[in-house]
Amino acid sequence: MATILAIETSCDETAVALANNRNVLSSIVASQIDVHRQYGGVVPEVASRRHLETINGAIAQGLQAADLDWSSIDGVAATCAPGLVGALLVGLTTAKTLAMVHQKPFLGVHHLEGHIYASYLSTPELAPPFLCLLVSGGHTSLIYVRDCGMYETIGQTRDDAAGEAFDKVARLLDLGYPGGPAIDSLAREGNGQAFRLAEGKVSMTTGGYHPYDSSFSGLKTAVLRLVQQLKQESEELPVADIAASFQHTVAKALTKRTIAAALDYGLNTIAVGGGVAANSGLRYHLLAAGASHNLQVLFPPRALCTDNAAMIACAAADHLQRGHQSPLTLSAQSRMAIGTVMDLYR
Ligand code: KG4
Ligand code: ZN
C-alpha cells in the first residue's frame, strides 16, 4: 500500500488530496469558478495567481483532514500535463519542493490518467481491461485501458471537446459559466425532443463515418442558427427546450460511439470520467444503452468526475507501487497524448 499526497492545478481548481491506494483519506477542492465567472471563462494568468495564493493552505487543510504527518506519506504527486502551463507549474513546483524537503519519491501524473483512476476510487474492484469514456472541458476520448500506464486512444473529438460545447452553447443562451451544470439543470425543465439538431459526424476518406470519433462544432453552429431563427419568430426564447435538445443530442452521440467501441473491442466494462460525466442526460442514455447490451457502465460520483486531486493520488500510488518515479527535472506540458504517459517515469 502507498500513501500519496497529490496536487492538481491543471485548470481552475486548486486541489490537494491524500489517498492510500484506492482509499481517499482527505480531498480538498478550492474552486476558482467565482473568480473566472465574471470573465465568462478561465483566465490563465488569474488561475495561476489564485493557485499560488491557495495551495499552501489547501495542503495544510488536506494533511489535517487526513490526520497524517509527513512520516506516513510515501510519495508526493502532481498533475504535470496536459493543462494550462502556468497553472500546472504551481502544483508541480510545490510537489517537487515538498518531495525534496521531506525526501520522498516524486511522481508527475497525466491529468487524463487521473480521470481514469477516479473510477478505481468509486469502484475499487474495477480491473483492466476496460473502456474509458473521458469527457471534460478539454477532452472527449475513448480510451482502451490495458493496465496502469498502458492506454490506447481509439476515438476522440476532431474539434470541440464535449464540455467545451456545453460551455459555448451556454454562453450563446446567456446561461453563464461554467455552462455544463447550467444546461444540465435547465434541461430538466425542457423537452429534449423539441428541436431536432444534427449530430456531428466525422467522415472518413475511405467513405462512411468514423465509428468512434466525434465532432461538436457543427452542433454548436446548429444551435446558433436555431437561436437566430427563433429570435426572429418570437421575443421569448424557449431556452429550456433548446438546452434539453442540445443535451439530448450530445448524450446520444457519445452513447452511440461508446457502445460501438465497447462491443467492437470486446470490453464488458465502461468507466466514464471527466466533468461531463456529471451530466444527467449522458448518465441516463449511457446507463440504459449499457444495460440493454449487458455492459457494465460505471459513473463515479459527481465530485470525482470533476477535477480533484484524489484521482491523481490514486494513479500515483499505483505507479509508485510498480517502482515508477519521475525525475525532479520533469516539466509541465500543455499537451501530451495519454499513450505516452510512461515517458513521465524512469
Ligand atoms: O474535468 P473537468 O472538471 O475539467 C477539465 O479537465 O476540463 O471538466 C469541466 C467541464 C466543463 O466544460 C463543464 O461545463 C463540464 O465539465 N461539466 C458538465 C457538467 N458539470 C461539469 N457538462 C455537462 N453537464 C454537467 N453536469
Ligand atoms: Zn479534468
For residue 335, the domain's CATH number is: 3.30.420.40
Structural domain includes residue 122: no
Q: What is the pLDDT of residue 251?
A: 98
Distance 308 CA to ligand 2 centre (A): 8
Spatial CB neighbours of 196, under 8 Å, sequence gap ≥ 6: 245
C-beta separation of 313 from 91 below 8 A: no
Structural domain span for residue 29: 3-116+305-344
CA–CA distance, 220 with 207 (Å, rounded to integer): 24
CA–CA distance, 14 with 59 (Å, rounded to integer): 10
Closest ligand to Cα 312: 2
Please tell me whether residues 162 and 273 are part of one structural domain.
yes
Structural domain includes residue 243: yes
Spans of the chain below 70 pLDDT = none
Question: Cell digits for 89?
Answer: 507549474
Please tell me whether residues 269 and 149 are part of one structural domain.
yes
Please tell me whether residues 91 and 208 are part of one structural domain.
no
Structural domain includes residue 26: yes
Give the residue from 83, 71, 63 showing the smallest Cα distance to 6: 63
Residue 123 is classified by DSSP as -
Evaluate: CB of 157 within 6 angstroms of ligand 1: no
Structural domain includes residue 190: yes
Q: Please state, as a whole number, how many other Cβ atoms lie within 10 Å of the Cβ of residue 326.
A: 25
Structural domain includes residue 262: yes
- What letter represents residue 157's amino acid? T
Structural domain includes residue 166: yes
Please tell me whether residues 298 and 189 are part of one structural domain.
yes
Q: What is the pLDDT of residue 222?
A: 96
C-beta separation of 281 from 307 below 8 A: no
Structural domain includes residue 328: yes
Helix (H) or strand (E) holding 80: strand 75-81
What is the domain count for the chain? 2
Please tell me whether residues 11 and 78 are part of one structural domain.
yes
Please tell me whether residues 52 and 201 are part of one structural domain.
no
Please tell me whether residues 97 and 242 are part of one structural domain.
no
- What letter represents residue 215's amino acid? S
Please tell me whether residues 175 and 215 are part of one structural domain.
yes
Please tell me whether residues 88 and 233 are part of one structural domain.
no
Helix (H) or strand (E) holding 173: none
**DSSP characters over 54-105:** HHHHHHHHHHHHHT--GGG--EEEEEEESS-HHHHHHHHHHHHHHHHHHT--
Please tell me whether residues 339 and 242 are part of one structural domain.
no
Distance 167 CA to ligand 2 centre (A): 14
Please tell me whether residues 297 and 313 are part of one structural domain.
no
Q: Strand 269-273 to strand 130-135: parallel, antiparallel, or no bridges (unpaired)?
A: parallel
- What letter represents residue 118's amino acid? A
Distance 279 CA to ligand 1 centre (A): 8
Structural domain includes residue 11: yes
C-beta separation of 213 from 158 below 8 A: yes
The ligand 1 atom at the shortest distance from the C-alpha of residue 273 is 1
Scan for cell 500535463, then name that residue: 81
Q: What is the pLDDT of residue 34?
A: 86
Please tell me whether residues 61 and 159 are part of one structural domain.
no
